[in-house]
């Protein structure tokens, strides 16, 4: 998501660079001369400003989110209580536990029951392409996460910290689909034994 420096240190470093880059850009805009220096100033300012704003936002998010980890633990516990007799252990893992998903969850949790613009989520991850997919993956865990548009702005809203355990069969099914350690027939047999539909 960002550098290995602490967000506070990264912010202090980058904000000075961003200020400098934006001053250069303003100077080039005022000159109305060669477009090449203007383009170079713009691309540099855009990059450094984006990284500075990201570090500024991350300052207020926890490095480790205990609530996020607790929710994962609850999902694992429920999954094992249902399927430990019929499903191999390696298919009972909880997906989407990395730092990107954790950062998205932290931002949504900080704004619990309030809409968070998708653009803000993209700033936190530093990814303009896959961020909304990562957010939807949180919903696959059973989180009470909703997407909608308001005033033509795409937003996500985490409405509660309650988990929908009805999503657990789909998690196991997706784990089975992703594994390369089993043949298609073996996967189908495991799902049948566990009473999990193969499609869904």
Using one digit for the tens of pLDDT, what is the confidence trace for 43-96?
999 988 988 888 888 888 888 999 999 999 999 999 999 999 999 999 999 999
Q: Average pLDDT, stretch 20-26?
A: 91
The pLDDT of residue 1? 54
The pLDDT of residue 59? 83
Taking residue 99's Cβ as centre, other Cβ atoms within 10 Å add up to 13
- Chain centroid offset of residue 85 CA: 32
Alpha-carbon distances of 50 from 129, 134, 153, 191, rounded to whole Å: 15, 20, 20, 45
pTM for this model (two decimals) = 0.83
Work out the pLDDT band at 174, boundaries 50, 70, 90: very high
For 42, how many CA atoms within 13 A lie in the half-sphere containing its CB?
8
Do 91 and 175 touch, CB atoms closer than 8 A? yes
Work out the pLDDT band at 200, boundaries 50, 70, 90: low
The pLDDT of residue 126? 86
Q: Interhelix angle for 66-83 vs 168-178, to 10°?
A: 80
Do 84 and 92 touch, CB atoms closer than 8 A? yes
Which residues lie below 8 Å from residue 140, measured CB to CB, with a gap of 6+?
95, 96, 167, 170, 171, 174
Q: Which residues pair with 160 in a beta bridge?
A: 144
Alpha-carbon distances of 39 from 14, 16, 27, 51, 172, rounded to whole Å: 21, 21, 12, 19, 49
Size (the chain), residues: 200
The pLDDT of residue 10? 81
The pLDDT of residue 182? 92
């Amino acid at each position: 998501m960002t550098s290995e420096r602490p967000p506070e240190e990264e912010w202090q470093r980058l904000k000075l660079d961003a200020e400098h880059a934006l001053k250069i850009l303003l100077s080039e805009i005022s000159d109305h001369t060669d477009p090449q220096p203007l383009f170079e100033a713009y691309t540099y300012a855009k990059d450094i400003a984006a990284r500075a704003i990201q570090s500024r936002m991350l300052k207020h998010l926890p490095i480790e989110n205990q609530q996020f980890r607790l929710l994962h633990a609850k999902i694992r516990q429920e999954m094992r209580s249902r399927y430990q007799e019929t499903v191999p252990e390696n298919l009972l893992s909880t997906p989407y536990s990395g730092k990107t998903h954790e950062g998205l969850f932290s931002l949504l949790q900080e704004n619990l029951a309030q809409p968070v613009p998708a653009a803000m989520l993209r700033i936190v991850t530093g990814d303009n392409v896959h961020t909304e997919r990562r957010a939807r993956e949180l919903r696959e865990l059973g989180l009470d996460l909703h997407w909608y548009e308001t005033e033509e702005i795409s937003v996500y809203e985490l409405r509660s910290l309650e988990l929908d355990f009805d999503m657990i069969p789909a998690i196991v099914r997706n784990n089975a689909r992703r594994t390369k350690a089993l043949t298609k027939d073996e996967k189908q047999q495991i799902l049948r034994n566990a009473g999990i539909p193969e499609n869904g």
